[in-house]
Each structure stands twice: as C-alpha cells, then as structure tokens.
Amino acid sequence: MTLYRDTGVVLRTYKLGEADRIIVLLTAGHGKVRAVAKGVRKTKSRFGGRLEPLCHLSLLMYEGRNLDVVSQVDTIDSPAPLLSDLDRLTQGLAMVEVVDHVAMDREPAPALYRMLVGALRTLGTRPSPLVVPAFYWKVLASEGVQPRLDSCVGCGTAEPEAVLVAFDMHEGGVLCRSCRRGRPVSSEALRITRMILGGQLNAALDEPASSATAEVGHLATAAIEHHIDRRLKSVAMFERGDRPA
C-alpha cells in the first residue's frame, strides 16, 4: 500500500466492527477520503479523541482499494471552541454536512477545503450570525450556481427600474414585483447577500445580528438545501430541539 501525508477536516464517522471506525475527511490534496482508524474505539487508542467531526488534522495514511488506513494523526485545529457552545457546534456540523454532500470521492477540491477550514476557524473565533450563511453562499458560487442578485431572473430588469422583492431557488435569483414568486426578500437581506458574494465578506461579518441577518441565514439554508436536494439533518435536529414542549 502507498503511504501518503495530507491534511483534512473530519466530516463524519461511523463504527466498523467492534473497535474500528470509518472516518470521512475532506483533504487538501485528495478530496473526500474514507479511511479506517483501527482500534480507535478502544480506551487505550493512540488516536484518542482526535478523529472526531470538525477536527482539522495532519494525517499519515496508507492508500487502500476501498478504504485508506489511518497510520498517524496530529491536530492542527481543535474543535474545542465549537464543542463548548451548542449553537456553534450545530453550525459547524451543518457546514461539514454540506461539504460531505458536495465533495466528490477522490477528487481534489482545494478551494472547498480552504473555505471549510477558514469558515470553521472563523466560527470558533468571531461571533457573527453570518459565518454559516456566507459559507453556504460561497459553496453555491464555487459549485457554479451563484444566484443572480442585481436583476430580475424573470424579465431581466435591473434596479432602480425594478424593485427586487423575491428570491426563487428554482429560478436561481431575485425577482421583481411583476414576476415575483418564491420567497419574499427584503432590501437589507439582499444588500448583505450582495456583500458576501461581492468581495466584501469581512464587512458582512461585521453586521450585527438583526432580522436581516436572520433572513440571509434562512435564504442561504434554503438555497443550499435546494442544491443538495435534501434537508440538512443538523439544522432539522437543532430546530426540533428549539421548539417549546
């Protein structure tokens, strides 16, 4: 078997046999990789708790036919800042869930890897309501489905001639009053989304929490769920737990 080094973020894990665990990672150089960590569920495992979702790692692995084999692990970024806060933990899990759906096995995706590492670091150090929505919009842009935000996708009329008042996932952008369908969108939410996708991400992350940032979050979640054609489990779980008894 070929031995190689890479860095990666753990997307998810699941049990294999009595003591092993399969680790799904997004790596810098090999794309999405599935690897087995042998004996990791034993109390004396040399890997400890490092092979868990959200961990950013340096790895030494043997390349296998179906599953690679983890040989050595060193921590680059610990998920401790996320694990100490339920909201951040849920948001981090939602991001790695999205990446697990869009990344292809064994196909290098260095831009996606850099985006994920950057977003997780920002989530752990910078309390902004727009870290996760911005990540979703950036993923959509990298997938070639960036929404049209400056003119109506129905009739093509741009501002200021048309007032853009709705967003439709199927159409791929905003719509004017005459063509409106889909979800309503406020001018503030549209402004913030344009900032995120228009090269002003840091300025967008400085926006204080408001109804507009919440709206951007709802739109981004709906758009990414439409793209991957499924409900995000982590978001649904959090919403269920947030409902009053």
Q: What is the pTM of this model?
A: 0.92
Mean pLDDT of 29-36: 96
Mind giving me the DSSP string for 165-211?
Answer: EEEETTTTEEEETTT--SEE--HHHHHHHHHHHTT-HHHHHTSPS-H
Cis check for the bond before 160: say yes or no (omega within 30 of 0): yes
CB 183 within 8 A of CB 219: yes
pLDDT the model gives residue 238: 55
Domain annotation for the chain: domains and CATH numbers: 2-80 (2.40.50.140), 128-242 (no CATH)
pLDDT, tens digit, 9 for 90 and up, residues 85-106 = 999 999 999 999 999 999 999 9
